[in-house]
Structure 1
Amino acid sequence: MRYINELSNKIIGAAIEVHKNLKAGFNERIYQEALQEEMGQRGIKFEREKAINVLYKNMPIGN
């Protein structure tokens, strides 16, 4: 659980840094690129726009 909390804090910190630098008004793609760069600089490994299966009451409803 500690690992998840630490990782969550790092991710939120990266998102806040992007917001502080870019503010509002850009399209989603700009924020995605900036967050990818910021997370890379912080050594946070991730997969961009990874498809995941979504279940609702144990029934698949999309990804």
Structure 2
Amino acid sequence: MKELRDLSGSVIGAAIIVHRELGPGLLESTYEHCLAYELRGQGLQVQRQVEQPVFYKGVEISCGYRLDLLVEEQLIVELKAVPELLPIHKAQILTYLKLRQLRFGLLINFNVPLLKQGIQRVVNGY
């Protein structure tokens, strides 16, 4: 299993490849499919649209939350294709990190001229 820093670097590198190939302006789902394809090509385990239940008073409640990508069971990748990232987008991935009890995630917006402008690393402080 890769270290988290190496894993996030692999995801960012793959996202840059996808962005260079496709450019901005497509649907989020297109980038999700292509990024998952790239990462699997690197031999990484990638799950798409992973259901994330909420536990309330000890009861698991399916609320329709879905992680865009879960890489190697340890890195959440939330993808967007929006004019700009908003605080609600960061709040969304922080919530997913807390619910899954994971430390680190990536928020990636593909609707930018240079992908590095659309990448945010998100850390859950528990």
TM-score (norm 2): 0.39
Give the equivalent residue in structure 2 for 1:23: 23
Aligned equivalents of 2:7, 2:49: Cα separation in 1: 18
Distance 1:15 1:53 in 2: 27
Partner of 2:50: 50
Deviation at 1:51, TM superposition (A): 2.5
Instruction: Give the aligned partner of residue 32 of structure 1.
Output: 32
Write out per-residue CA displacement over residues 9-63 of structure 1, whole angstroms, 9 at most, x where no aligned residue: 1111111110111001111111111111111111111211112357xxxxxxx64
Q: Between Structure 1 and Structure 2, which shows a larger proportion of helix residues?
A: 1
Percent identical pairs in the alignment equals 33
SS at 1:5 equivalent: helix
State yes or no: 1:10 paired with 2:13.
Answer: no
The ranges of structure 1 where at least 4 consecutive aligned residues each deviate by more than 4 angstroms after the TM superposition are none
What residue number does 2:124 align with? none
Q: Number of residues paired by the alignment? A: 56
- Give the corresponding residue for 2:119: none
Q: Which has the higher strand share?
A: 2
Q: Following the alignment from structure 2 to structure 1, what is the Cα–Cα distance between the partners of residues 31 and 46?
A: 15
State the TM-score, normalized to the length of structure 1. Answer: 0.72
> Any unmatched runs of 5+ in structure 1?
55-61
